[in-house]
């Protein structure tokens, strides 16, 4: 199965909102409500930010939110802060396997 499709880059100024998309198929994103989003800072392990499309683990700011429509999921980061600058990866359960997106580098201008 192919990787989920994410834009390679996104950017926004502090305080603004940014939306990162994640496109899949009916066999993954569209077929299950099991989309996750991860944040990764350079040299660090990924951190779970959103799971099951729109649930936030304890400790993740509510500036981060997720949604899904059809075969495309989205991560919205509101009120951008400097520390949000990182790589973001989506993933989807796809039936006894999980597929990741190629990643989006978020730059805070």
Select 18 or 36, whichever has its Cβ closest to another protein: 36
Q: Is 52 in the site for another protein (CB under 8 A)?
A: yes
Nearest residue to 52 (alpha-carbon basis) of 68, 71, 72, 69 = 68
Distance CA 8, CA 106 (A): 9
Q: Are 91 and 99 in contact (CB under 8 A)?
A: yes
Q: Does 89 bind another protein (CB under 8 A)?
A: yes
Does 46 sit near another protein (CB under 8 A)? yes
- Binding region for another protein (CB under 8 A) out of 18-26, 67-75, 77-85, 100-108: 100-108
């Amino acid at each position: 199965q192919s990787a989920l499709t994410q834009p390679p880059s996104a950017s926004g100024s502090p305080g603004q909102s940014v939306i990162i998309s994640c496109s899949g198929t009916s066999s993954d994103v569209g077929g299950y409500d099991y989309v996750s989003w991860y944040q990764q800072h350079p040299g660090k392990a990924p951190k779970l930010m959103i799971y099951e499309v729109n649930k936030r683990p304890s400790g993740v700011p509510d500036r981060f939110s997720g949604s899904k429509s059809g075969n495309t999921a989205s991560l919205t980061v509101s009120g951008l802060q400097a520390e949000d600058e990182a790589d973001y990866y989506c993933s989807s359960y796809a039936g006894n396997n999980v597929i990741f997106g190629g990643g989006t580098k978020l730059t805070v201008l």
